[in-house]
Amino acid sequence: MVYLLPFFTVCIWGGNAIVNKMAASTIEPSAMSFYRWFLAIVVLSPFCLPKVIQRWSVIRPYLAKLAFLAMLGMVLNQSLSYYAGLTTTASNMALITSLVPLIAIFMSVPILSKPISPLSIVGGVIALAGLAFMLGKGDVAFFLHQDITPGDGIMVIASICYAAYCVLLKRWKMPLSNWTMVYMQGLLALIMLTPLWLTSEQLVPSQQAIPLIAYAGLAASIAAPWMWVKAIDLIGADSSAMFMNLMPVVAITLAATMLGEAVHSYHLMGGLLVVSGVVLSQLKWKRLSRKSLENVNQV
């Protein structure tokens, strides 16, 4: 039963790709980003604000880092995703987002001084080939003679931002609870998003946008992080991370059924290569010790 936690989390995140696409024709990206975190902060404040006030002396030294993380993960990543929805499909958005773990692995080399394994390199090549195959609609070398869709390019930037967020979150270990981290980042993101929201043509969301805001603000911003943290506590980070590879499958299925997006062979082939490459890059490279080799030789 505990494995349902990461599965449902991935389903929520997969559904969020559909929300990103639906929001493109319903509410301005700047307003969507703002109201998402406005709702989340309103709901979380009764539970988190007293603890923030109580531990303010501990939180204050980390405000700059929290603000930078908020900018990467909650302002740039999410805002860019909403803008990407204007010119690309939910399927493409999900497949590009699935590259985040792979990008994070390569970013960990300079930021965390982590060695990169041969499997990660091979997996990276396979995943990038799959992405090129998918974006080029079956033509891997498409970028040599044509430009990619603006939305796809924006999603690549958004994925890089989120990968950087994940790596820096691991590097900047702070003596704060998970909910305090989420709340403070959301609050700082809301402050950053306010000027952008004020530039929106329609400041008040339409009735059609309210369900989308509710999903993004409650399910994707509160429920999913809570379930993800619980899953990591119960089954471990490595086991939970493997469920992330199901996200494009969930998103493409939902896009086909809810949005009527056509699923082509290049989606399936490219997606399979992307997921395979990411899974391969996540496998741990274990070298045989001398003792193990001796045991093998004895056999």
Q: For residue 41, what pLDDT is reported? A: 96
Average pLDDT over residues 87-96: 86
**pLDDT tier at 296, thresholds 50, 70, 90:** very low
Does 32 score more than 90 pLDDT? yes
Q: What is the rounded CA–CA span in Å between residue 83 and residue 73? A: 15
Nearest residue to 98 via CA among 225, 248, 208: 248
pLDDT digits (tens, 9 = 90+) for 208-261: 999 999 999 999 999 988 888 788 778 766 666 667 777 878 888 888 888 888
Does 23 or 236 have the greater pLDDT score? 23
Let me know how long the chain is: 299
Residue with tokens 């059924």: 257
Does 93 score more than 70 pLDDT? yes
pLDDT digits (tens, 9 = 90+) for 116-170: 788 888 888 888 788 778 777 777 666 555 667 899 899 999 999 988 998 898 8
Within 25-136, residue ranges assigned H as helices are 29-54, 56-59, 63-70, 77-84, 90-97, 100-112, 118-135
Q: What is the DSSP string of 240-266?
A: HHHHGGGHHHHHHHHIIIII-----HH
Intra-chain end-to-end CA distance of the chain, in Å: 41
Q: For residue 289, what pLDDT is reported? A: 39
What is the share, in percent, of the chain residues with pLDDT greater than 90? 34
Q: What is the rounded CA–CA span in Å between residue 30 and residue 79? A: 7
Does 294 score more than 60 pLDDT? no
Note the Cα 87 to chain centre separation in Å: 19
Beta-carbon count within 10 A of 298 CB: 6
Q: For residue 295, what pLDDT is reported? A: 42
Does 73 score more than 70 pLDDT? yes
- pTM of the full predicted structure? 0.83
Q: What is the rounded CA–CA span in Å between residue 126 and residue 277? A: 5
Does 279 score more than 70 pLDDT? yes
Token pair for residue 19? 């929300």
Q: For residue 216, what pLDDT is reported? A: 94
Q: For residue 288, what pLDDT is reported? A: 38
Mutual orientation of helices 90-97 and 118-135 as an angle, nearest 10°?
A: 170
pLDDT digits (tens, 9 = 90+) for 161-206: 988 998 898 888 899 988 999 999 999 999 999 999 998 888 899 9
Q: For residue 143, what pLDDT is reported? A: 58
Nearest residue to 40 via CA among 183, 239, 177, 232: 183
Q: For residue 237, what pLDDT is reported? A: 62
Q: Name the burial class of residue 294, with classes exposed (0-12), middle (13-18) and buried (19+) by CB atoms within 10 angstroms of its CB.
A: exposed
Average pLDDT over residues 70-91: 91
Does 59 score more than 90 pLDDT? yes
